[in-house]
């Protein structure tokens, strides 16, 4: 939709370009605007209600058919009730017109309907600027590196569309317009980077809203029942990343402690009541040996539990996050973790946890529900040995020597779930083995409990970060031994030792050539070119998370401090930032100098005439200017050159020649010299 009475011609190559050249200026420009709007709207189709996405697509197709067929726009009496019905549909879908999801749905529908109500250039600019605004809302749902790259491409197309509607004469090919839009984007990038790194940061997420922060997220739960861990094992989503400041512990030592489950009702394990400690007590934990210092970058969970390498000193550094811990050494924040957090910790692999138990703690760690699992209780009596440690070894030996299997697809269990697992199915995942082990130990009179968290991780050799995924979720057991405190026992390792030493993928049985076990093996194959490519992509993505999404006030202060130290003081850092700003300004000036040759010649001509006292009036076009210049005191040959110059400029500006502008631009330069 271009300005009335102003047309232009395009030079194009290729079948698609030739088809576009056959379209009128208005149709081609409108179709480009529709394509840009589609790029803005398409990423939202994944989270908008189906009827909303279908309505938007229908409106875009409607608008495209109007453009191609030359039909009239729909009248206001039709658009108004359709818009009201759409807003009512948004309310029925979200039960509100406020908030992130409802607001984005309304904006998307508003953009689509506005495309059916364009009658002037002003409406075109409203659509483009509304597209820029809606584009930002994509970051409410995804802040990944790929999302950022897609948004950059969309911005460039929107800028090219905006440029298209600014041309009043010759319209360059789409490729050239996209190149110009890219230059505009790049010219703003240095200033944007300078502001990003130097402008004071605020604490908390930028792309988030408090009312929408509690959306469902996968992760470890504070309850455990048969099958609860299996669903996490199928997820490749990142739980957290770890950077060690020294030697990486062995895979079998990487137990990431999170939640302790002590209550059992015969079906589900839950947390038990416990007190909260304010300081580190020698009665709670005794540590020895050299500590393992590491930094954890945890993804948002919507829950309060933090993940710690056993056994982490509770006095960890958590900037912007208030934490506490209890007698079972669960470390948690006072508020749900709704954004990515980074914290440094010191773990000690040689430790004794709670060497002494009082009667209440002991009774709680021995409690079993009445009337459940009679066969398991009888088995416990048979396996019981002279000491708690020997009794635990007897249970592990049973798991190793009898036909128990480790699988993601265990059969369903009945009311007496532990009985069914131990005597009938003999197939299960980590929650089956840890839960059954704790029930057996409690039946033998040994205090025991379940611990959930993650085990292992995958080291990326590119950036030396250990990535722990939801598929690494694990459950193990702890038994209390006199004088030694709580000791970790992993019954899953008795059945599938590869789970602890090599990871989940090596422990799963291969049930089919393309089953999950084969996929896990492919993922762990870091020597293949595909594995190396995956490592590099994850390293770049992690850098994006660390330096873009998680660039908080603490990291900004550290970065600027290091920059200042590198230059001796803050003045050196300020000089560097000023130099970057000057480089950006110089680039802008060079781009400004690289004007369209036709416009550059016309500007030079107007400046030359102004010096002779014949300045062009703001309202004056080239033909009117030429008539006025004929009255000036100058030789006739110069007047003829002036007249020819302005007539050629008018033809190039408002009626472009089919052969392009290169040759006429050179002719303009010749006429400009003759006019001096």
Burial of 182 (0-12, 13-18, 19+ CB in 10 A): middle
The one catalytic residue in 44, 432, 474, 538 is 474
Give the number of residues written for the chain. Answer: 676
Residues 6 or more apart in contact with residue 642 via CB below 8 angstroms? 605, 609, 626, 629, 630, 634, 675
Indicate if 430 belongs to the active site. Answer: yes
Residue with tokens 């900037």: 319
The one catalytic residue in 416, 430, 432, 538 is 430
Token pair in block for residue 11: 């030079």
Indicate if 490 belongs to the active site. Answer: yes
DSSP secondary structure string for all residues of 446-475: --EEEEEEEE--EEETTTTEEEEEGGGEEE
Between strands 427-428 and 405-406, the pairing is: parallel
| Cis? peptide before 311, omega within 30° of 0 | yes
Q: What SS3 state is found at 476?
A: strand
Token pair in block for residue 166: 């600014």
Token pair in block for residue 535: 């490592």
Q: How far is CA 76 from CA 30, 302, 549, in A?
A: 20, 45, 44
Are the C-beta atoms of residues 326 and 262 closer than 8 Å to each other?
no
Run of H or E including 481:
strand 473-481
CB-CB neighbours of 209 under 10 Å: 12
Burial of 478 (0-12, 13-18, 19+ CB in 10 A): buried
Nearest Cα neighbor of 443 from 360, 372, 359 is: 372
Residues 6 or more apart in contact with residue 405 via CB below 8 angstroms? 426, 427, 495, 509
Nearest Cα neighbor of 428 from 495, 344, 497, 342 is: 495
Beta strands in 253-291 (DSSP E): 255-261, 263-264, 269-270, 276-277, 285-288
Q: How far is CA 187 from CA 180, 266, 439, 581, in A?
A: 11, 65, 66, 11
Residues 6 or more apart in contact with residue 465 via CB below 8 angstroms? 241, 242, 243, 459, 539, 542
The one catalytic residue in 44, 294, 490, 538 is 490
Known catalytic residues are 430, 474, 490
């Amino acid at each position: 939709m271009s300005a009335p009475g102003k047309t232009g011609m395009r030079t194009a190559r290729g079948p698609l370009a030739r088809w576009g050249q056959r379209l009128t200026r208005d149709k081609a420009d409108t179709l480009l605007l529709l394509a840009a709007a589609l790029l803005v709207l398409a990423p939202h189709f994944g989270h908008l209600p189906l009827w909303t996405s279908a309505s938007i697509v229908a409106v875009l197709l409607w608008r495209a058919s109007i453009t191609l067929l030359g039909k009239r726009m729909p009248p206001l009496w039709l658009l108004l009730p359709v818009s009201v019905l759409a807003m009512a549909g948004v309310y029925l879908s979200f039960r509100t017109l406020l908030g992130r999801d409802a607001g984005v749905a309304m904006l998307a529908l508003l953009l689509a309907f506005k495309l059916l109500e364009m009658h002037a250039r002003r409406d075109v600019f409203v659509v483009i600027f509304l597209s820029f605004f809606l584009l930002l809302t994509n970051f409410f749902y995804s802040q990944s590196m790929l999302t950022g790259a897609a948004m950059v491409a969309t911005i460039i197309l929107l800028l090219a569309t905006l440029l298209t509607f600014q041309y009043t004469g010759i319209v360059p090919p789409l490729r050239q317009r996209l190149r110009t839009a890219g230059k505009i984007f790049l010219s703003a990038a240095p200033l944007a980077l300078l502001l990003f790194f130097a402008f004071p940061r605020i604490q908390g997420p930028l792309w988030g809203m408090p009312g929408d922060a509690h959306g469902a997220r996968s992760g470890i739960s504070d309850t455990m029942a048969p099958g609860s861990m299996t669903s996490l094992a199928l997820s490749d989503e990142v739980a957290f990343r770890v950077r060690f400041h020294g030697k990486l512990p062995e895979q079998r030592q990487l137990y990431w402690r999170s939640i302790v489950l002590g209550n059992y009702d015969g079906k589900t394990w839950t947390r038990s009541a416990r007190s909260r400690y304010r300081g580190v007590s020698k009665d709670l934990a005794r540590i020895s040996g050299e500590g393992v210092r590491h930094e954890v970058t945890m993804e948002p969970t919507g829950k309060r539990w933090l993940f710690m390498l056993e056994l982490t000193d509770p006095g960890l550094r958590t900037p912007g996050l208030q934490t506490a811990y209890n007698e079972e050494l669960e470390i948690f924040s006072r508020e749900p973790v709704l954004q990515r957090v980074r914290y440094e910790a010191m773990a000690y692999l040689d430790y004794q946890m709670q060497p002494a138990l009082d009667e209440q703690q002991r009774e709680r760690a021995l409690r079993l529900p009445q009337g459940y699992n009679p066969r398991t209780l009888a088995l416990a009596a048979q396996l019981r040995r002279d000491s708690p440690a020997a009794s635990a070894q007897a249970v592990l030996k049973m798991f190793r020597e009898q036909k128990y299997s480790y699988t993601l697809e265990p059969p369903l269990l009945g009311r007496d779930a532990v009985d069914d697992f131990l005597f009938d199915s003999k197939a299960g995942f980590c929650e089956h083995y840890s839960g059954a082990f704790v029930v057996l130990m409690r039946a033998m009179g040994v205090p025991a409990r379940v611990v959930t968290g993650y085990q292992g991780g995958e080291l990326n050799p590119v950036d030396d970060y250990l990535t722990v995924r939801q598929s690494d979720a694990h459950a193990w057991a702890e038994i209390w031994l006199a004088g030694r405190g709580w000791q970790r026992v992993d019954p899953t390792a008795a059945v599938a030792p590869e789970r602890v030493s090599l990871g989940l993928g090596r422990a799963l049985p291969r049930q089919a050539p393309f089953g999950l076990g084969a996929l896990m093996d492919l993922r762990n194959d870091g020597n293949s070119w595909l594995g190396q490519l995956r490592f590099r992509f994850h390293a770049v993505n992690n850098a994006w998370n660390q330096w873009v999404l998680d660039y908080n006030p603490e990291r900004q202060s550290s970065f600027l401090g290091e920059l200042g130290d590198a230059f001796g003081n803050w003045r050196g850092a300020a000089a560097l930032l000023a130099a970057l700003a000057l480089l950006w300004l110089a680039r802008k000036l060079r781009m400004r100098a690289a004007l369209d040759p036709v416009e550059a010649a016309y500007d030079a001509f107007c400046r030359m005439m102004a010096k002779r006292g014949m300045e062009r009036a703001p309202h004056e076009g080239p033909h009117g200017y030429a008539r006025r210049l004929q009255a000036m005191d100058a030789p006739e040959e110069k007047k003829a050159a002036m007249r020819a110059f302005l007539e050629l400029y008018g033809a190039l500006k408002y009626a472009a020649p089919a052969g392009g502008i290169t040759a006429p631009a050179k002719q303009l330069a010749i006429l400009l010299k003759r006019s001096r």
